[in-house]
């Protein structure tokens, strides 16, 4: 069984980006990914790698389980 990382709440994540002053494109540049890849993560079409998930929570100054679940 393959374990995947997923966002707990996509709306909450979008709100957090706005509260921190980021657009999706701007945030994707900050964490070193493409805007398309981040959009796919937000829309649950892709699962972030552990490395990308770590970059996201570090940039937003959160803990892993504040944003993500392991499925």
- Per-residue pLDDT tens listing for the chain (71 residues): 788 999 999 999 999 999 999 999 999 999 999 999 999 999 999 999 999 999 999 999 999 999 999 98
Model pLDDT, residue 29:
97
pTM for this model (two decimals): 0.91
Model pLDDT, residue 41:
97
β-strand 5-7 against 68-70: which pairing, if any? antiparallel
Q: Which domains does the chain have, with CATH numbers?
A: 9-61 (1.10.260.40)
For the chain, how many residues are written? 71
In angstroms, the CA 24 to CA 22 distance is: 6
DSSP assignment of the chain, as one string? ----EEES-HHHHHHHHHHTT--HHHHHHHHT--HHHHHHHHTTSS---HHHHHHHHHHHT--HHHHEEE-
């Amino acid at each position: 069984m393959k374990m995947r990382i997923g966002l707990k709440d996509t709306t909450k994540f979008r709100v957090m980006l706005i509260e921190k002053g980021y657009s999706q494109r701007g945030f994707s540049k900050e964490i070193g990914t493409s805007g398309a890849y981040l959009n796919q993560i937000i829309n649950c079409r892709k699962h972030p790698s552990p490395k990308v998930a770590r970059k996201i929570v570090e940039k937003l100054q959160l803990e892993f389980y504040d944003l993500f679940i392991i499925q």
